[in-house]
Structure 1
Amino acid sequence: MKRFAFKKVYLFFSSLFIFILHMPFVFAKTKTAVGFFDNNASVHPIVAKDSPLVNNINVPAEEMNLYDSLRLGSLGLARQAFDYAMKGFSVMKAVGEISNDHIISIIDFSKPSSEKRLFVIDLANYKLLFNTYVAHGMQSGKEFAKQFSNRPESNKSSLGFYETQGTYIGGNGYSLKLNGMEKGINDNANRRAIVIHGAEYVDESFIHSQGYLGRSWGCPALPQRLHKAIIDVIKNGTCLFIFSPDQNYLSHSRILNRPQGPMMAYK
């Protein structure tokens, strides 16, 4: 009986010792499988190491993965446009330049005006709210916007990051003021009266007749049937990013090329 009791005690402590040895591996596997969680406990995959912005700025993983989860690529939004938008959004948020960080709007001028190139995204609820047409300036190009300017009376579009402001009723009806956030690139937006408004020439009938939308004097004009609803969603302190793979802009943007460091100014 004593030998049997001793054997049971020996087996118990041997099993306990083996279990303790395996504990670190159990927890390591559990941690790897969990990933990232939002407030609703839904899982977001970890950002891939080869993502172009992973090593440049701390963009939340769930925001980076919106591109895939909302299938923005299949809708025509360039990955480069989205990545730059989220990087600049994070910079503006970090330095307190936007008061409403739930919404971001991206205009992708790498696409022709015959394609829906405005994307309004609800970052708080992970939803694509609007995807529609948007016009560019008449001197920026016909089908594609290729030339850009910050100069008054240039009738060209300006690239870069904007903060949306308040609304007003003007010559183009219900309109939204924009504050250009990039010195020398779009900071003349108010002086140039660059605003978001509706326009009859932003319509598929124009695309069918001439192959591209009508053009503005530099404003990102929207379809008449949607502009009020869009303006009401993005007004009062949200981020708007107008993108083009224009090397002059990409190399001179103080927001996109902001050095790393807490609260470092970019102006």
Structure 2
Amino acid sequence: MKLTLLGLIATLSFSLQTQASSKLESMNLPEAPLIEENYGEPLLQIDAVDPTPDADIPSDEEVLRMQQEIKELFPETNTVQTQQERMSILARYSYVDTRRVPQDLYETAIAYYDAHKSSLRNPNYLTLVDFGARSNLPRMFIIDMNTGRVASIHVAHGEYSDPNKDGHLDSFSNRIGSKQSSEGFYRVSETYNSSKFGYAARLDGLSSSNSNARARAVVLHGSKYVWERSDVLPGYSWGCLAIAENLKAEVVPLLANGSLLYASISR
């Protein structure tokens, strides 16, 4: 059965700054709907799990090396921003179509992005994952930081983060073996050829709440259990960010090699 995306790429209805054309605009990714848009109840549930193979788990040496790199590039800071500083940051990125992203997640993520932009090897994209939305909704928001365009796609969460399998994430965990999703900032790192998923990208946790991401082999990969349909509850991962199989060839290289991703729950 051939599945189609929820929408076609459209020209944004608001005026953007004159910049180079966006890769998002040349790819078959749907523009994010307005956040207020409503969806009906899902009609089908895919009760299946994409487990992470042991062969994908990196060596202890690799984990330690990357943890040291992350510590040097993204030192933890406890700087409290004033309202004026927050408004100044938002003003610098006023071209982003914030009508199409969860506002609270965006404000947190854009402040981190602004503070660490020089450490990002791929500052062209900022991705938000709203685990507060049900899994049948397009809840991964990919922001082109050159044009402000926003695309949204579906993404699965960890199996044990949703024990009753109703599509709602109930809890996070950073524990190795938890099979749950983790909250926090991630760097989408290098691509590799997974023994199970094929083309995929490693994820490095930048927060204390997801610091074991690489050790757990939490990665960005495609899955046949994730569909671009809002009438279907997708299957589950073991904590990975699993997207539709037919989108991985576009999304993985777009975000890989150093872009920032923030996963949390919109309030």
CA distance in 1, matches of 2:106, 2:169: 18
2:34 aligned partner: none
Q: Say if 2:222 is the partner of 1:198.
A: yes
Change (3 A) 1:163 1:204: closer
Select the structure of larger CA radius of gyration. Answer: 1
C-alpha distance after superposition, 1:51-101 (max 9, x if no partner): x98435441514245234xx30xxxx32111111112212222xx431221
Contact 2:102 2:266 in 1 (8 A): no
2:108 aligned partner: 84
- Residue 126 of structure 1, CA deviation: 2.2
Contact 2:172 2:180 in 1 (8 A): yes
Which amino acid is the alignment partner of residue 238 of structure 1?
Answer: S
- Which of 74, 84, 104 aligns to 1:55? It is 84
2:50 aligned partner: none
How many residue pairs are counted as aligned between the two chains? 186
1:151 aligned partner: 175
Contact 1:64 1:86 in 2 (8 A): no
**Tell me, which stretches of 5 or more residues in structure 2 are unaligned?**
1-15, 20-80
Taking only aligned residues, the RMSD between alpha carbons, in angstroms, comes to 2.4
Change (3 A) 1:164 1:53: farther
CA distance in 1, matches of 2:262, 2:217: 17
CA distance in 1, matches of 2:97, 2:261: 17
Structure 1 segments of 4 or more deviating over 4 A? 37-40
- Which of 99, 116, 125 aligns to 1:103? It is 125
1:188 aligned partner: 212
CA distance in 1, matches of 2:17, 2:154: 32
1:166 aligned partner: 190
1:29 aligned partner: none
Q: Say if 2:156 is the partner of 1:135.
A: yes
Name the structure, 1 or 2, with higher relative contact order (CA <8 Å, separation 6+).
2
CA distance in 1, matches of 2:197, 2:82: 38
Q: Say if 2:249 is the partner of 1:228.
A: yes
Identity of aligned residues (%): 30
CA distance in 2, matches of 1:204, 1:178: 23
C-alpha distance after superposition, 1:106-136 (max 9, x if no partner): 11111100100011111112222x3110000
- Which of 202, 214, 239 aligns to 2:260? It is 239
